């Protein structure tokens, strides 16, 4: 907040920004000096020109991918938390499903994309479901761990004071689970873009995935680089929003 803090931050982000700046300038100079063809590696200026030239197409496809990622991400958060809460109250379901969920977490959920396309046809829905699938498992596994990380003495105490199950959930379990929950959500934030993108690769009907595939077939390197850049921004943006939410939800952690 204060001046010293800002200075410290500037000191931390200065070197990487410098490196990136130098890399971009060197890239431009090398491409021009060696006369590298844009089909192999276009100069940054060329990439920017193409981005400006295709901006309306870029914007509409970016919105599609963004919409799919964010929707899948948001639905996965709600469902994963619900399932995690159910797990806390049903030992049978937790014992039965949690090991399966942990196993499924290490499988490539994007492999479901072709199956979902057979089921739901083209359009947004199958892509949202893939994004949801990819995000769901890390959140549910971490949140369940958090809801159960409560010290047993605390639960005993609450029971002695005759706290209801709902009160134990709201006042003890949920607050305890917050750091675990955000851990899962942060993992999922980057994955949601992967889910939407891969589903678009498979469906090839809209979004940045379609633009990327088309650019690959045309050897349009500038467009490939633009799409990577936009997808990166979406991934970083979602992660940043999640981290911000984490800070707001756990103000006591900011001090560290």
Q: Site residues (CB under 8 A) for other proteins?
A: 12-13, 15-16, 18-20, 40, 92-93, 95-97, 99-100, 103-108, 110-112, 114-115, 117-119, 142, 145, 149, 180, 183, 189-190, 193-194, 197-198, 201-202, 208, 212-213, 215-216, 219, 221, 224-225, 227-228, 231-232, 235-236, 238-239
- How far apart are alpha carbons 45 and 231 in whole angstroms? 20
- How far apart are alpha carbons 162 and 183 in whole angstroms? 32
Cβ 43 to other proteins shortest distance, Å: 15
Q: Which residue has the tokens 């990577």?
A: 228
3-state secondary structure string across 197-236:
HHHHHHHCCCHHHHHHHHHHHHCCHHHHHHHHHHHHHHHH
Cβ 83 to other proteins shortest distance, Å: 13
Cβ 174 to other proteins shortest distance, Å: 17
Q: Which is nearer to other proteins, 20 or 48 (CB)?
A: 20
Q: Which is nearer to other proteins, 81 or 109 (CB)?
A: 109
Cβ 42 to other proteins shortest distance, Å: 11
Rg (CA), the chain: 23
Three-class DSSP category at 164: coil
């Amino acid at each position: 907040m204060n001046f010293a803090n800002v200075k410290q931050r500037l000191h931390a982000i200065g070197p990487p920004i410098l490196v990136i700046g130098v890399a971009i300038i060197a890239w431009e100079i090398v491409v021009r000096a060696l006369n590298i063809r844009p089909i192999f590696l276009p100069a940054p200026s060329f990439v920017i020109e193409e981005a400006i030239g295709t901006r309306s197409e870029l914007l509409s496809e970016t919105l599609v991918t963004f919409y799919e990622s964010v929707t899948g991400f948001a639905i996965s958060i709600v469902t994963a938390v619900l399932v995690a809460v159910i797990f806390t109250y049903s030992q049978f379901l937790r014992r039965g499903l949690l090991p399966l969920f942990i196993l499924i977490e290490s499988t490539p959920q994007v492999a479901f994309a072709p199956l979902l396309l057979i089921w739901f046809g083209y359009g947004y829905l199958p892509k949202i479901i893939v994004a949801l699938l990819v995000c769901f498992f890390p959140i549910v596994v971490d949140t369940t761990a958090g809801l159960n990380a409560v010290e047993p003495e605390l639960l005993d105490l609450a029971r002695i004071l005759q706290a209801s199950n709902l009160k134990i959930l709201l006042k003890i379990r949920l607050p305890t689970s917050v750091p675990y929950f955000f851990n899962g959500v942060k993992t999922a934030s980057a994955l949601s873009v992967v889910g939407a993108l891969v589903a678009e690769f498979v469906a090839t009907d809209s979004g940045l995935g379609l633009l990327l595939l088309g650019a690959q077939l045309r050897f349009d390197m500038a467009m490939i680089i633009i799409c990577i850049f936009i997808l990166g921004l979406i991934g970083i943006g979602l992660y940043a929003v999640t981290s911000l939410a984490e800070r707001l939800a756990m103000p006591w952690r900011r001090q560290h």
